[in-house]
Structure 1
Amino acid sequence: MNDPSGGESPLSRRRTALLWIACGTAVLSLAGLVLSTMIKSPAQLAAETSAPERTDLTATVEERVLRETVVLRGTVVQAQALESTPTSVFEADKLVVTGARAKPGDWVKEGQVVGEVSGRPVILLRGAFPAYRDIRPGSTGKDVTQLQKALRSLGYTVDDESTMGGSTKAALRKLYNSLGYPVPDTGAADNEAVAQARARVKDAKRILAQARGATPPAPAAITAAAEGVDQAEDALEELVAKTGTMLPLGEVIFVASFPARVSQINRTVGREVQAPYLRLAVGKVIVSGEVTGADPRGIEAGQPAELTIGTESFPSKVTAVAEKAPAQATEEGTSGDLGTPGFTVTVTPDKALQTELIGEDARMTVVVRNSQDPVLVVPVAAVSAGADSATHVTVVGADGQQRIVAVTVDDSGDGYVAVSSDELHAGDAVLVGVP
C-alpha cells in the first residue's frame, strides 16, 4: 500500500532490503566457491609439480630383412648429353648463325631443322654415331648405311643399295624439298659435265637413228652407232653415280634417340659459330645425384634403389657410379679450391619415367647391404656391452620384470642391428633407455 504522500510504504522498503541482502549472499557464496578451486594446499602443490614416475622405454624385437641404405638427393635428367658444332657448310666460306628454329628447353624430333648456319639448315636425323664427312654420291660405309636407315625412319623409300645411290639421293631431295631448302649437290662443274654427257647420249642416239634409216642399210654403220650409244650411256651412268645430290657434313646432326631436349643452342644471328653450337639431352630418363667424399659410401652399380619424386615411388637400380673429375688449377698456378671429391650416382627406374618429370628433384634411397633372409633385429640403442666386451640386451617382461640376455651381434643398418640368442624371440620387449 503506497504512502498517500507519494513515498514507499514501510512494507515495500523492507522487501527491497531483503532482496538486496539475498543477492549479496549469493555473490559471496559464488566468490567463495571460485576461491576454493584456486587455493591449493602445500601437499597438493607438491604433488602437481613433482616429476612423473620414471618409466622404461622399450622396443619390440622384430624378425625381418635387415637393410642398410644411403639416401641422397638427385635430379631427373636424360641419360646422355650430345654436343655438335658444324665444321663446314655447303658453298659457304664463313660459318655464321643466320637463323634459329629451336630454343633451350624445346623438345625436338628427327627430321627437324633446329637452326641455320650460313643460310643452310642444321637437320636432326636418327643415328648412333656422329657425321664425320660429306656423304657424296657413290660413297660407301657405315655412315651411308646410317643415313639410309634415318631416311627410312622418316618414311622415305630407299632401296637396299650398298652405296649412296639413286634411291638414297632421291629420298634426300624429297627431304630438302619438304624443309624448303635448295638440295645440295656436288657442284656446278659436275652438273655441267652431266649435262654434256646427256647431250652426247642424245647425239649418239640420233646417229644410230640415221644409220638405221639409211638406204641402202649399212650394217657396219648401224653396229658402230649402237656401240656409240652404249658407250655414251655407260659414261653418263658412271658420271651420274658420282655426282649430284649429296649430304654436307655441316648440315646434319645424328642423334641416337628421340625425343631430345635442347640444352643449349647458338641463337645469336650474325655471330660466327663457336663450339658447342648445339647441346642436346637425349636417351632414357634417369636420376642423377652426388655423394661427397673420398668413397661412394658402399654404393655400387647393380644395387637396388627406390626413387621418390613428389608423392610417387619408383623401384629402381643403380646403373653407374663414377668418380667426379677434379677441378683444374688456373693457368696462373694458383692452387685455390680444386673442388670437393665425390661420386656421381646414376639410378634408372625399372619402368620408364615420363619426360614431363625432367628437372624435378628426387629422393634416392640406395640399398647398399641387406641380410637376404629375415633375422632378429633390435635398435642399436638396445645393445649394451659389459666390461668383458660381451654384448647383451635387457628384456622387459609383461610384469615389468627385467632380465639380461646375452646376444651375438651381426650386421647393422638404418639404426638397427641383427642379434641372435636362444633366449630372444620376435615380439619380446627390450629396454632402449630410461627417461
Structure 2
Amino acid sequence: MSTQESAGRARQNTIYRDGVFGKRPSVPTDFAGLEAAARRKMSPKAWAYVHGGAGSGSTMSANRAAFDRWQIVPRVLRDVSERDLGVELFGRRLPAPVLLAPVGAAELAHPDADVAIASAAGELGVPYIFSNQGCAPMEESAAAMGDAPRWFQLYWSTDDDLVDSFLDRARRISADAIVVTLDTTMLGWRPEDLNLGSLPFAQGQGIAQYTSDPVFRRIVRERIAAVTEKPEVKVTLGAVKALLSMTSRYPGRFLDNLRSPEPRAAVETFLDIYSRPSLSWSDIESLRERTSLPVLLKGVLHPDDARRAIDAGVDGLVVSNHGGRQVDGSVAALDALTDIAPVVDGRLKLVLDSGIRSGADVFKALALGADAVTLGRPHLYGLALAGRDGVRDVTANLLAEFDLTVGLSGLTSVAEIDRDALRRV
C-alpha cells in the first residue's frame, strides 16, 4: 500500500474505527458542517473577517458555481490499488498538490494563529504560504515547520527597503518561493467588516511581520521623530481597548510599550505603507534583481496578464480572486483558469486559489490545468474549532478525499488527471 493510499483509506478507516468506540471527529468532515460549527465558535468580528466577501458576495458564489459546472466521469476496471499523488514544485517533492493559503490576522480565529497552522502543515508535509499580514514573525512559523516546505506571500509596500528586507528574511528562513499578491493594493468593499467597523490591522492584529522587521521599526521611529505636534486623541472606551490591543502585540515589555508612542505609530505606519496601488510590471521585472527565489504572481485572472507574466520572467501564477474578498461580480477563479491554462501551456506553474472546499474540487482544478491548489477558509475554520489539530484534520481529510476521488475515478497519479476526466454540464 502506498503512502497516498494510506492517506485516503487509512484515514477513513481510522474515523470509522473510532466510531465503534463512540468517538466522532473533532471537526466535521464536510464543508457545510465545518463552516456551521466554525460560525458558532467564532466571534462576530472573526466570522465577518474570515467568512466575508466583497459586496453582495456574488464572487464567492461564482467560485462555487464554477466547480459545479464540471462533473467527474469515473472509469472502472483499472488497477488503482497503488496511487502516487506526489508532485514537484520548484525543486521540492510534495506529498500532494495542495498548499495552505496565506490568511492575514489569523489570531481572530485562534490565539496560536500562524504558528499552529505552520506546525500542522509541517506534520503533513504540506507547504504553508506565510502571510505577509501574519500574527507571528515568519521566523517563528518556520521554526514550527522544521524542514517542511514553506513559501512567503509578499504585499509590496510603498517602501522598497522594507520589500527588500522581507525578501531577505524569506530567503533566510529557506522559503521555496515568493508569492506576490497583486489583487489587494487596496482593500475591497467588505460589508461584513464595515458593518462592525472592524479592521483587525487597526487594532495591531496581523502586523507581526512588520513589527518584527528592523527596517519597519526604523521607519516607525523616523516618523515619530518627525512629528512636531502631539496628536489629539479622543479618549473613549473603544480607543482604550484599541491602544491595549496594539500595546500587547508590540514587541517588548507591555508597560514600556504602554508609555511609548511606538505601538500606535506602528499601526498608523502599517496602514500607510503596507501596500502600493501604483505597483506596475516594471516593479515585477525588478524582482529578478531583488531575489533569487522563484516568484509567483497571485491574483492573475486575465489571459493577457498571464502572457505579460511570461514576458516578465516569473515562475508561476496563482489564479485567484482573493476568495471573493476584493471585487464583487468578478470572474470565478476556476473559469479564469480554463482561459489561462492554454495561454501558459506549461511555461509557468499554475496554482488555483479561491473556492477549494473538497478533494473533488482539487481533482477538477488539476484536470483543468492547475499544477496545485491552495486551501483557504477551510483550514481557518479548523483552526477556530481545534487549533493546530483542527488545521491538521481539515487538511488531512481533504487529502484523503482527494486520494479516494483519484482512485475511484480510475486513476493512479496526478499526471493522469486531465480534461478527459471531466464533463462540462
Look at both structures and tell me which one has the larger radius of gyration over its CA atoms: 1
Fold agreement, TM-score > 0.5: no
The two structures have a TM-score, normalised by structure 2, of 0.22
- Greater per-residue helix proportion: 2
